[in-house]
Every structure is written in C-alpha cells, then in structure tokens.
Structure 1
Amino acid sequence: MYFATYLEDGKEKVGILTNDSNKIIALTSILGDNTPKTLVDFIADCNEETLNKVKGFIENNEESIEEAVGLDTVKICAPIPQPKRNVICLGLNYKDHVEESKRTLGKQIQMPEAPVYFGKMASDIIGPMDDVNSHAGITTEIDYEVELAVIIGKEGINIPINEVEDYIFGYSILNDLSARDLQKKHAQWIKGKSLDTFTAMGPYIVHKSQLPMPVHLNLSCKVNDEIRQNSNTNNLIFDIPYIISNLSKGMTLKAGDIIATGTPAGVGMGFNPPKYLKSGDVVTCSIEKIGELVNKIK
C-alpha cells in the first residue's frame, strides 16, 4: 500500500495508489467522511481493521474504482507536509560516509560507537517537483543527502528490538538538504539543516507490509545526469531495529514521527573540489520499491 498526500482542484486530500500505481483514490471514498483529514492523523488513528478495509477495497475493486483519478491530474505533495515534531536524523550512519567526512572535516570525525542523533526543524516539508530555495546571500554550500525515512505508526517508549516493526507504519524517501558553510560556522547542525525548503520527502509512504524486515533497499542520488550516491540500506552502521529501540529508551516516540536513517558516501562536500548544488540543478533521490523524489534548486 502506497499512501500519499495530494492536491486535486486545489484541495488537499489523503489517498492510496491503486495496484497498478497509475491512479489514486481518496481515503474518504473508502472509509467515509470521518476519515482523518491528514496522513499523519490517519497514521495515528489507524488500526489493523482500517488497513484491511483499505487493502480489501483496492484489491477487490481494481477494475471499477470510479473515484480513482490519474496521477497526472493531481499534484503529489510531501506525504507529511506539516509534521507535528522535528524530523529526527542520524548522522554518520554509513561507514563510507564517515570516511569521506573524515577526509573533508578532519580527525575530529570518528567511527561512531553510538548513533549520532540530531533534530531538523521542518514545519513545512516540500514534496516531489517542488523547488528548493537556494537562499542566495545566506549560503553558498548547499548539499544533498538521500536517506530512507522511517515513519512511526504508534506511540511507544522503551521498545524492545524484537518489537520494533510493530511500531513502524511505513517508509519514504527524504532528502536532508544541508548548508555546509552554516554547519561549519555554527558548530552545531540545526541551523544548516533547517533553512526553509531544506527538507524534501516523498513521493509516498510505503506501508511496512510491502517492505518486511530486514529492510535491504538500494538507494541513490543523482544531480542532473551524474550519479553521486549509490548504496544499500544493509550498509547502515546502526540498523532500523537498533535505531528505533535505542531512540525510544526514555523518550516517547509518537505516531507520525519521521526518522531519517542517514546518508551514504557521495555527498557534495566529499568531492575534491566539492560539488555543491547551484541554481538550476535537478536532484533525484531514488530508493528501491519506494520511487523517486525529484527537486530543482531555484
């Protein structure tokens, strides 16, 4: 099941793709007028009965869903355009990215013995085909980072590793755009990671039933026609069960929380000379079985 937030005739809706992935149908057409208005609220209210009803409707009415509309007639948005909390991110979670960061930033970068967590302020997340503001005069070193995002499905604290999948709703693609000069200037990462439009996500949230544990997915990032990043999530230093369990120790995770699991080698700052993004560049982040997230630097 592929869930999406989209605009149809200027109205924001929450929907699910048909099995052929060519059309989308509003969840209100399946669940009725009491359906939550946003995807993050749907995730919070969702239960097995609701999911089975949605799945059964799609499978049993594939050829005759009159309410379904073509993807080419709507605007796909970020699946969670306004998250209720900051995005939780992991830094230095691929070995090859640690090594390139060490070459670029020096000996202070070491292989982490524990996950490196930080928050990314993202009150408005941009979606597929949305422009990234280059913030001329504020930064000249804009970088890209393709990441697998995990979306929490229900509230939990002190979650055992063997129960982590029960607390996951699904997965998406996230581009953790970063102003490297601001990161270096301010020593901490929140400013350089949190400029407006510097969080891109989409195109869909893929339900966990489509991607059972362990989640081993190819991921890549292309700038214009050049592949910059190319790896697989099985190269994560700290895997998804460990991340979720460790994060939840003493800290409540809530339905709709977005956790970005880190980026592999190939970021712009890792090249010599660096290959930072410039106005007009098109960035394509891809993850196997999820899709493509395309954004242009304005």
Structure 2
Amino acid sequence: MLPIERPGKIVCVGLNYRAHAEEQGAKLPERPMLFAKWATALAGPGDPIPLPSITQAVDYEGELAVVIGSRVKGVSAGNALEAVRGYLCANDVTARDLQKADRQFTRSKSLDGFCPVGPALVPAADVGDPQALRLRTLVNGEVRQDTSTADMIFGVAELIAFVSEAITLEPGDLLLTGTPSGVGVFRDPPVFLADGDEVTVEIERVGSLTNPCARRLRA
C-alpha cells in the first residue's frame, strides 16, 4: 500500500552525490540534472520489485524522497524548505541495459514498480536538517550504499528552488534527490538484482523501506 496519495509529478535528480560522480569518473554537474519517473512506477513497502523479461540488469538506487506540501513557483533556496511536507525512503530502481540502449532515463526508470517509497511519510519537523542524514542500502542484508546526505552536490533546498524556476511544484509532488555511490552497475564486476533478492533502504530519522525482487509476479 502506498504511504502517500499518487503524486502529480515525480521529479528526480541524477548525479547528485560527489562520491557517485567519482565512482563513474564523471565531472560534478554545474546544475541539477533532472528527469522524471511516471506515477505507475510507484510501489509501497513490501511490494515486489518486478524483474521483467525485457531487462537483465535491474539495479537499486537508495534515495531520500521529498514530499511537497504547498504550491511553489520561483521559490528561493532560503525559503524552499518551508514547502516540504515530509520525507520518505525511496528506491530509484533502474534497468541499466535499457538506460544504455535508450541513451536517456525515462523508460529504464519508469517500469511498473520501479519506484518503491515508504515506509511512512515522516513530517519535515521530525526529520530536521535533510543534509545530515545517514543513508544505507542493503541487498540481502549486505550493505551496498552507506553515506550521508551531506555528500549531496545540491541540497534539498537548492533542488526545490531550481525545479521551481521552471516547473510549478504542487502539494503531493515527489522529489527524489539522487543516489550515493555503491550502485550495482559500477561494482567490479557489476552486480544486478536477482529473483528472490531483498532490498532495504534505510535513512536516519526517516525509516526503513524493504522490497523483495520477483522475476515473475503472481496474478
């Protein structure tokens, strides 16, 4: 069950952790790199991450998700956090082979079930500084990602301000803030999710989101 109402927009940010840029030999971006996921990708805690036959390279990306609480357009970074309703853990699941073939992100990141969020919406006041949270991603109990949101290149306030320059953010919209280093595709050798795997995203003061992986989902 989804912990939030289905959002009008899911805005995502690529390459927003310094160590994640380093692990792929990329230059730090001068401005946020935005893309979108479709709402049909949303899934809740415990929902299976599908491993469909069109991809053989499904990867995890643990992320801090921001839920917008008020309508904002052209907000300054100094006032941007006032628009935050709360936070969730998110997994920006990605089909790496489709991402490479398409040379852009939309299809590879928007397959059904490729955006688990949860476990429950935590009010912004209970989380405090979004740039001081430990984030970990585990696969079958093995830690794959372990960092602080302090490693973000563009913080939550900067991201909201940047997005709202061009796009009106409305209550319920979801902003995924990027993933840290440790994703499967940049391991040596690369490691992708398999049938029966269990992925957990843990964020300090936000909670723990766990989803199993399933090659074939029951009808």
TM-score in terms of structure 1 length:
0.70
**1:263 pairs with one of 179, 184, 200:** 179
Partners of 1:122 and 1:89 in 2: CA distance: 12
Residue ranges of structure 1 left out of the alignment (5+ in a row): 1-76, 103-108
> Which of 83, 92, 110 is the aligned partner of 1:176?
92
What's 1:276 paired with?
A: 192
Gaps of 5+ in 2: 215-219
The root-mean-square deviation of aligned C-alpha atoms, in Å, is: 1.2
CA–CA separation in structure 2 for the residues paired with 1:153 and 1:251:
15
Q: Give structure 1 regions of 4+ aligned residues with deviation exceeding 6 angstroms.
A: none
State the match for 2:40 in structure 1.
123
Cα 1:257/1:170, change in 2 over 3 Å: same
Corresponding residue for residue 91 of structure 1: 14
CA contact (8 A) 2:78 2:157 kept: yes
What is the one-letter code of the residue matched to 2:138? K
Q: Which residue of 1 aligns with 2:132?
A: 216
* 1:225 shift after superposition: 2.3
Shift of 1:98: 0.8
Contact kept, 8 Å, 1:132 with 1:295, in 2: the verdict is yes
CA shift, 1:214, in A, is 5.1
Secondary structure of 1:150's counterpart equals strand
Matches within 5 A, 1:69-108: 77-80=1-4, 82-85=6-9, 87-102=10-25
- Deviation at 1:123? 2.4
Q: d(CA) in 2 for partners of 1:219 and 1:90?
A: 16
Amino acid at match of 1:98: A
Shift in Å at residue 121 of structure 1?
A: 1.2
* 1:110 to 2:27 alignment: yes
Q: Which has the higher contact order (CA 8 A, sep 6+)?
A: 2
* Aligned residue in 1 for 2:78: 162
Q: Does 1:250 align with 2:174?
A: no
Name the aligned partner's letter for residue 33 of structure 2: V
1:16-27 matches, cutoff 5 A: none
Output the CA distance in 2 between the equivalents of 1:257 and 1:81: 9
8 A contact 1:170–1:207 mirrored in 2: yes
Paired residue for 1:33? none
Identity over aligned residues, as a percent?
A: 40
TM-score normalised by structure 2 residue count = 0.94
State the alpha-carbon separation in 1 of the partners of residues 51 and 120 from structure 2. 25
Matched length = 214
